[in-house]
A and B are shown apart, each in its own frame.
Chain A
Amino acid sequence: KAGVTQTPRYLIKTRGQQVTLSCSPISGHRSVSWYQQTPGQGLQFLFEYFSETQRNKGNFPGRFSGRQFSNSRSEMNVSTLELGDSALYLCASREVNDEQYFGPGTRLTVT
């Protein structure tokens, strides 16, 4: 099976812009979770989607949102970008009662 794929791998945006990141889970996996990794805060949970429904949300402002499509692909959106949003954004997929497998991440740089 192909692993979790994330696009794009690298992205540069300026403050105030918005960005959309995409994640394609492993075939057959219906759960997708997103994490933010920064040197200062480490790995932090953003949200989790299962069958197109958000099941859990971390402590992030409303500028961070996501969605999941019927084919389990997921997108996350960050509006009004701030310098502090520069991070590696990781997506993980999971089959029911299976373990989470992570993609390679999208490196977002906000200038």
Chain B
Amino acid sequence: GEDVEQSLFLSVREGDSSVINCTYTDSSSTYLYWYKQEPGAGLQLLTYIFSNMDMKQDQRLTVLLNKKDKHLSLRIADTQTGDSAIYFCAERKGATNKLIFGTGTLLAVQP
């Protein structure tokens, strides 16, 4: 199937680290992405990782990829209230531009 699964909700305190998890299904996926969606807005590309990488760090964001378990995670260091949003992981199918999105995780950051 094409299901990409995420936990629905995560609540953290400001300044803590947040870890959002994602399980995908297609081992042939070439790229895996993390997008952020704020209320009433479109999708903002946060970061992505190529399938032959294990880890990618970009400022406060760290992406970990476990291909064996088809598990992707996004760690946000020093989480701020402005990070409150819905986070989507997505896998890209082969050479196409078709993205299969996860169900989204609502991140709530408590001051």
Contact = CB atoms under 8 A, between A and B. Distances in A.
Contact of B42 (A31, A56, A94, A105): A105
A100 B45 CA distance: 8
A4 to B, nearest CB: 8
A48 to B, nearest CB: 5
A48 B42 CA distance: 18
**Interface range on chain A: under 10, 10 to 19, 20 to 34, or 35 or more?**
20 to 34
B97 A94 contact: yes
A67 to B, nearest CB: 17
**Interface range on chain B: under 10, 10 to 19, 20 to 34, or 35 or more?**
20 to 34
A99 B48 contact: yes
Contact of B45 (A48, A101, A104): A101
A103 B98 contact: no
Contact of B97 (A42, A48, A102): A48
Interface in A72-111: 90, 92, 94, 99-105
A42 B35 CA distance: 14
B97 A33 contact: yes
Given A42-B104, A90-B42, A101-B45, A48 B33 contact: no
Contacts, number: 51
Contact of A102 (B43, B96, B102, B104): B43
Interface in A1-46: 4, 31, 33, 35, 42-45
A102 B98 contact: no
A99 B98 contact: no
A100 B42 contact: no
Nearest to B88: A43
Contacts of B96: 48, 55-56
13 contacts: A33-B99, A35-B99, A43-B90, A43-B101, A43-B104, A55-B97, A58-B98, A94-B97, A100-B99, A101-B45, A102-B42, A105-B41, A105-B42
Interface of A: 4, 31, 33, 35, 42-45, 48, 55-56, 58, 90, 92, 94, 99-105
